[in-house]
Amino acid sequence: MMAPVGVQSIFHSDKEIGLAEVCGEIGVPYILSTASSSTIEEVSAASSGPKWYQLYWPKDHEITKSLLKRAKSQGFKVLVVTLDTWTLAWRPADLDQGYIPFVAGVGNQIGFSDPEFRIKFAEKYGGKTPEESVLQASQEWLGDVFSGASQSWRDIKLLREAWDGPIVLKGIQHPEDAKLAVEAGCDGIVVSNHGGRQLDGAVGSLDMLPEIVEAVGDKIPVLFDSGIRTGADIIKALSLGATAVLVGRPVIYGLGIAGKKGAKQVLQGLLADLDQSMGLAGIKDIKGCNQTILRKA
């Protein structure tokens, strides 16, 4: 699957619209980030394939409900809730350069286009629109989605009230949290450390994958999102119990170099590499990717 990656306009003008389009063309499910430089509606119109929506969970429940209503109406089938970014991490390279695109309104398009957010913003700022006051609107949006206030397991029921489809929790790194996700009635989890961008020294996701798979058994699907670069990487993750893998950076590198065509070539290359590597390893089908074929060095 295509992992949710925010602010794709900083890589290429094709941005989320172009990437969603080519994912649909080759049948790779696309996960749209809340931190997008395209709207929910624009991405839906561009994509002919399976679409999931990734939520950075606002503290304002009315805005949350509005986002989910839009995603549902536009054909997004699964809700992916990111757990590990309720506040932005300490990122020295970005701080040194003063580089925070959100402050300039870049990557806030889903928020700025949301009816509920626009109403609340106009009420607070004398009828202004986000477009008329980008800095203030950006501050309001960031304060809501990256508020520094985490949610609790009890709050899953609030999402259930607003979303009648599957709910997948992204950012699980501990077997006990995986068990709690099952108890909370979630439909799947994604083992991920946010590409190593949130917590310095965080444990590697691949190291935790077998423990987490063992903890949940076959109760819910376990997806994997961390460091997928080659077909062999996919085989390893599937063999350690992942139901599917998410790929992020390599596709974005392709997008940055050659737009949607570059992204498509990376995805096609990964799929071809997977097929070729399975053949060379004597693995007949995906079911053949299991722990019996692995040896830990």
User: What's the sign of the alpha-carbon dihedral 19, 23, 28, 31?
Assistant: positive
Q: Contact, 241 vs 216, CB < 8 A?
A: no
Nearest to 251 by CA among 223, 229, 273, 276: 229
Residue whose entry in the numeric block shows the structure tokens 């508020």: 147
Nearest to 169 by CA among 129, 127, 220, 219: 220
As a whole number of angstroms, the distance between CA 87 and CA 152 comes to 15
What element of type H or E holds 80? Answer: strand 78-82
As a whole number of angstroms, the distance between CA 212 and CA 243 comes to 12
Question: What phi and psi, each to the nearest 5 degrees, are found at residue 244?
Answer: -160, 165
Single-letter code of the amino acid located at 22? V
In angstroms, what CA-CA distances link 162 with 20, 34, 166?
A: 25, 16, 12
**Catalytic residue chosen out of the listed positions 12, 61, 174, 194:** 194
As a whole number of angstroms, the distance between CA 169 and CA 191 comes to 9
- The per-residue DSSP string of 217-278 comes to TTSS-EEEES---SHHHHHHHHHTT-SEE-B-HHHHHHHHHHHHHHHHHHHHHHHHHHHHHH
Q: Contact, 195 vs 248, CB < 8 A?
A: yes
Examine the residue annotation and report whether 61 is marked as an active-site residue of this protein: no
Question: What phi and psi, each to the nearest 5 degrees, are found at residue 90?
Answer: -80, 110
Q: Which residues pair with 224 in a beta bridge?
A: 191, 245
Nearest to 12 by CA among 218, 256, 180, 194: 256
**Residues tagged active-site:** 194
